[in-house]
Amino acid sequence: MSVNKLALIRYRTIDECLKNRFRKWTLEDIIERVAHMLYEYEGITSGVSKRTIQADIQLMRSDKLGYNAPIVVTDRKFYAYSDSSYSITKVPVNAADVNKMKEIVGILKQFEGFNYFDEMTEMITKLENNLYKSTHPNENYIQFEGNKQLRGLKHINPLYQAILQKKALLIEYQSFKAKAPIRNVYYPYLLKEYRNRWFLIVKARDGKALITMALDRIVGFQTLTEEPYKAYKGVDFDRYFDDLLGVTKSEKDRAQKVVLKINKLNAPYVLTKPIHHSQQLLAEDAEGTTIRIDVVLNFELEREILGFGECMKVLSPRNLASRMKKRLAQAARQYEKDSSEE
């Protein structure tokens, strides 16, 4: 049974409502939300009928689409999932939809080689591979880097839609240092990936500085339709992150000249895969290679350098070299302690 686009928008919207534990959803609330999303995506101003949403809920409860959604009604008026972890997005795609997606991938592959499609090559390959595995589960001919246990990936699309539609968000967030989650109103500006971990760049309603939130630390969020959205008026984000390794930066941070010496054995790895796009080759000798990068000094830069261990040395700036020396000494002392206990 194929699903048309409008029906899919309705199902996905109902699903997003029932997953949202921040509020209780009456049938009227769901109808209003679905009507809003149909207008946002398709420009439909006629809304949606009560009968249509009731039929959608019954269909989602059934196995006709393979959803078997555990939708329950509490206090005779509030709709919710009895299983808080359930989502129709976790249900396997049926054969008809797989075939449609294969057709789409086939069309996309025809555009490979065009400049504006260069960055989509990996995505198209991933799509094709995932579709192939859906019909050949025991065969896999390409492996991509990823972490299936990484939390927060389900937030990517709804957060992206909130950014596109310029919607304020009520976000419940718990950093690694916090003992309990904190709720606040934020204006979302950018989703950014760094080494398979996703981050959301926001500004708090009562704050002035940009904040970087890890998606795996977002407990939950909801769109605030009545809250005016405040657009970001600082430097464009392509320039903002241009001098950065990772995501950690304040608006006052500026790039510094970082000079690194890599031993001869490991130099090829850095020359063929630059640490940063600003990387320049300064010198090569019998001991190794000296390079320069112009980046903000942050946690991610330090972690990158530490990852090379004894194979890389910071020549400048002095404060970074001093910090690396201190951290490596602290690491060495942990092993000295282990040796003394033997």
In the prediction, which pLDDT does 1 show? 41
Q: What value does the CA radius of gyration of the chain take, rounded to a whole number of Å?
A: 25
pTM over 0.85: no
Question: Does the N-terminal peptide bond of residue 317 adopt cis geometry, omega within 30 degrees of 0?
Answer: yes
Query: How many CA atoms within 13 Å lie on the side-chain side of 23?
Result: 13
In the prediction, which pLDDT does 107 show? 76
Write the CB contacts of 199 (distance below 8 Å, at least 6 apart in sequence): 191, 192, 193, 212, 213, 214, 215, 247
Whole-angstrom distance, CA of residue 3 vs CA of residue 65: 9
Task: Quote the tokens at residue 237.
Answer: 């984000």
Write the CB contacts of 146 (distance below 8 Å, at least 6 apart in sequence): 196
DSSP calls for 274-296:
-SSTT-EEEEEETTEEEEEEEE-
Percent of the chain whose predicted confidence (pLDDT) is above 90: 55
Cα–Cα–Cα angle for 112, 114, 120, rounded to 5 degrees: 55
In the prediction, which pLDDT does 116 show? 66
In the prediction, which pLDDT does 2 show? 46
C-alpha torsion angle, residues 296, 300, 303, 305 (rounded to 10): -40
Helix or strand or coil: residue 35? helix
Q: How does pLDDT run across 290-317, given as a tens digit for each residue? A: 999 999 999 999 999 999 999 999 999 9
* 202 in Cβ contact with 186 (< 8 Å): yes
Buried b (16+ CB within 10 A) or exposed e, 49-73: eeeebeebbebbeeeebebebebee
> What is the Cα 40 distance to its own chain's centre?
23
Residue 78's DSSP bridge partners are: 74
DSSP calls for 63-74:
SSSS----EEEE
E strand or H helix that includes residue 53: helix 50-61
Give the residues of the chain that fall short of pLDDT 50: 1-2
Q: How does pLDDT run across 162-221, given as a tens digit for each residue? A: 999 999 999 999 988 888 889 999 999 999 989 888 999 999 999 888 999 999 999 989
User: Can you list the pairs that 190-197 forms with residues at least 24 positions away whose Cβ atoms lie under 8 Å?
Assistant: 190/163, 190/237, 191/156, 191/159, 191/160, 191/163, 192/241, 192/247, 194/246, 194/247, 194/300, 196/145, 196/146, 196/147, 196/150, 197/150
* 301 in Cβ contact with 295 (< 8 Å): yes
Whole-angstrom distance, CA of residue 209 vs CA of residue 249: 11
The amino acid present at 245, given as its one-letter code, is L
For residue 215, give the nearest of 202, 230, 228, 232 by alpha carbon: 202
E-strand ranges in the chain read 71-74, 78-81, 168-173, 182-194, 197-204, 210-214, 218-224, 256-263, 280-285, 288-295, 312-316
